[in-house]
Structure 1
């Protein structure tokens, strides 16, 4: 009984031991061996705990040493900070005294150096915006350093700086009156960088291979204008580049230094084809009416010229010819020569009425086109103004260019309508004249035939 109780207690104690001890307990062959294993495991655990405690004590000692060292460094840095603050305060007093001494010694020169600083700033702005900088880049680097030094009130410009400033001012003035050629890298309209010979016309324009160039300030890059002036101007630019001496007529931009602001604005303005597209579908309809009116007028003018020529020939021919209206009227008179005057007059009047539609054909349509074209132009203008005012309602009036562009596009249809109506009215008058002449001859000859029949 006691032996079984003892075995149960040992087994329960073995379950409470670490896993390693439990694994070893499984290999024990008897209770004595199990007790031995448990004892050895406890001794091993006691040794490990002692080692851990020793490691913890060493780490605590190291942390204490580090803390002590950090406090020592903090105290040293605080003392150094106090020393630096004291030195800084002393230096501020010295700098203030030196500045006061500098101002006293400058005296009347202070105003001169102020003007020199202002002149250097103005010169830097001028050189940055000048076309001469495209030929001589980097001219303003020394001016930046000079202005920075003078603005700090610690150093004065040297005599070399002043002489160089004077030199750049004079060079800018002299180069402004020259036409020179120099090699440079040009960015084409397609974005490619090409090495070309560039012609500089004073401070006004840069030209190369018949193209006008642009030199945006601050970019130090020569670019080709995406839109070029007319062919005559480009041809003149090529002539100038090829010239060696003498005078050459060339178009330049008088707004100058930035490479042609006026020229750029003119290039950005839409051409006649773009203006026509601004008219929209109403503009296309007006143009179609103009083309119809022009073709109709040309056709009727050719037909009436032929008819008028044949009628004139018939006036000199005693025999009736059926290839013209007058001949057909005369044939009716011959066919009804024996009839009474009233019947003959009615027959002749009937024949004249038959000839009238063929002679006046197309004149009514020309008159309608002349009336409808300006009305359609007015319709396009009103529609465009409605769109413009809607845009103003949504986005406000902050950008006058947008308003002006919308109004300009709206007025294009009115211009198109007038451009179609005015020539159409003139063409109608031009064509109506020979038609009325032929009709007048027909009526005159008819009246003559009736008069002859009445007298007979």
Structure 2
């Protein structure tokens, strides 16, 4: 192949030289002479190339022979290694069979130990006891890996420590212990504080619940604490751990507590109602203020009327006194005229006694209707979320449903007390009016008897 390439190169060089000479020659004789000289030079060059190729031919044979020898050596080495590998596999299988026969029931025992170590590692990682006694999960993980990745058998010391850690976990889960460590506060600050551990259930510090973060091995204060009734018991346990104290513990180690702190409080419930909820509360507040003003007014008026009933002298600072003054101011009029004047006086007092009670009744009726409006609005938002995102994620529908239910609840919460307040105030108002009518009837009867006697 190399010889053919050299021959082609020589021919190309000859043609190129001939063309060059043709361009430089002045006539045919000169051109012929130039071509003759070029042919002689080309022949000499080809001869040198052939000599060089023949000289390297023996060297190429030596390289080929050396490569073949190397190949044969590597093939022999590969065959020998393959045979050794097969022999080693046979020996390994024989040794494994012998090991299994000698281990017998111990193999099952170590398998159970490995499984227990793996399960216990997960338990220790999330246990609040690890906040006080760290590093136990590391030992369990190393023991499980060493027994699973190789044929290494657990030593007596490792088995004893596994039993000891299990026993210590059970013992500590029934104790209330105190220890000092660094905790992360809700604002991100770190400080050394005394922590109270209630068995394997909860961590407390200064009357607040803590959580154990197993990824970092740190203890952090819950950003959001449960309701006050749980914090009160937590503070009692912190102050007097040796005494018998009612305490709300979390048997799941934090799962129930995490759900409990996510429950919205009263303010957040109201905020879920949105603008409609605020309107209902505003109306309820107005109704409550009116009811309070009416209750105070009717209470004062009722007290004055009661005092007036015990006195014979009429005073104009109460409705009954003003009705009785009609008799005093008109001593000579006939019974029918007196009756009309008393009726007129009572009619003047009735609007004062029943003032704004109708507004309370209206609020008791309107509040549920506004709550129903919020319910319809919330359901519209829910159906819009279903239209856009489907029903795959219930959280997308929770906002609309919350608004629908909260506004309904707020409407009922406002309406029910308003009904009771209206009934109470209306009854007190009617009682005072009845007293006025009774006294008016008595005055008329007394005047009629006087007229008949005369």
In structure 2, the partner of 1:15 is: none
Q: State the alpha-carbon separation in 2 of the partners of residues 78 and 228 from structure 1.
A: 75
C-alpha spacing 1:436/1:218, structure 2 compared with 1 (3 Å):
same
Superposition pairs for residues 221-236 of structure 1, below 5 Å? 221-230=218-227, 233-234=230-231, 236=233
- Is the 2:273–2:402 contact (alpha carbons within 8 Å) kept by the matching residues of 1? no
TM-score by length of 1: 0.75
C-alpha spacing 1:304/1:91, structure 2 compared with 1 (3 Å):
same
In structure 2, the partner of 1:139 is: 136
In structure 2, the partner of 1:363 is: 357
C-alpha spacing 1:321/1:252, structure 2 compared with 1 (3 Å):
closer
Match status 1:176 vs 2:170: no
- Is the 1:239–1:248 contact (alpha carbons within 8 Å) kept by the matching residues of 2? no
Match status 1:254 vs 2:250: yes
In structure 2, the partner of 1:187 is: 184
Match status 1:149 vs 2:143: no
- Residue 202 (structure 1) shift: 1.2
Q: Deviations over 1:232-281 (max 9, x none)?
A: 654654554455x732526242324x3x2222211111111111111111
In structure 1, the partner of 2:267 is: 273
From 107, 112, 115, the counterpart of 2:109: 112
Match status 1:353 vs 2:312: no
Q: Deviations over 1:158-200 (max 9, x none)?
A: 2222222111111111121222222323222222333333222
Superposition pairs for residues 397-408 of structure 1, below 5 Å? 397-400=391-394, 403=397, 406-408=400-402
- Residue 318 (structure 1) shift: 3.6
In structure 2, the partner of 1:6 is: none
- What RMSD, in angstroms, separates the aligned Cα atoms of the two structures? 3.5
- Residue 334 (structure 1) shift: 4.1
Q: State the alpha-carbon separation in 2 of the partners of residues 285 and 100 from structure 1.
A: 82
The alignment covers a number of residue pairs equal to 397
- Residue 368 (structure 1) shift: 0.8
C-alpha spacing 1:80/1:358, structure 2 compared with 1 (3 Å):
farther
Q: Deviations over 1:394-430 (max 9, x none)?
A: 3344445665665344322222222222222222222
In structure 1, the partner of 2:126 is: 129
Q: State the alpha-carbon separation in 1 of the partners of residues 269 and 105 from structure 2.
A: 63
In structure 2, the partner of 1:383 is: 377
C-alpha spacing 1:177/1:448, structure 2 compared with 1 (3 Å):
closer
Superposition pairs for residues 4-15 of structure 1, below 5 Å? none
TM-score by length of 2: 0.76
In structure 2, the partner of 1:436 is: 430
Higher mean Cα deviation, 374-383 or 232-241? 232-241
Superposition pairs for residues 51-130 of structure 1, below 5 Å? 75=71, 85-130=82-127
In structure 1, the partner of 2:322 is: 328
Q: State the alpha-carbon separation in 1 of the partners of residues 343 and 305 from structure 2.
A: 17
- Is the 2:184–2:219 contact (alpha carbons within 8 Å) kept by the matching residues of 1? yes
Match status 1:205 vs 2:199: no
For structure 1, list consecutive stretches of 5 or more residues without a partner in the other structure. Answer: 1-56
In structure 2, the partner of 1:264 is: 258
- Residue 72 (structure 1) shift: 9.3
Q: Deviations over 1:195-238 (max 9, x none)?
A: 33322221111122332111134442222111223556546545
| SS of equivalent to 1:215 | strand
Match status 1:423 vs 2:417: yes
Higher mean Cα deviation, 125-134 or 401-410? 401-410
| SS of equivalent to 2:179 | strand
- Residue 314 (structure 1) shift: 3.0
Q: State the alpha-carbon separation in 2 of the partners of residues 73 and 138 from structure 1.
A: 61
Q: State the alpha-carbon separation in 1 of the partners of residues 214 and 69 from structure 2.
A: 55
Q: State the alpha-carbon separation in 2 of the partners of residues 99 and 84 from structure 1.
A: 22
- Is the 1:336–1:344 contact (alpha carbons within 8 Å) kept by the matching residues of 2? yes
- Residue 286 (structure 1) shift: 1.4
C-alpha spacing 1:143/1:302, structure 2 compared with 1 (3 Å):
closer
C-alpha spacing 1:395/1:304, structure 2 compared with 1 (3 Å):
same
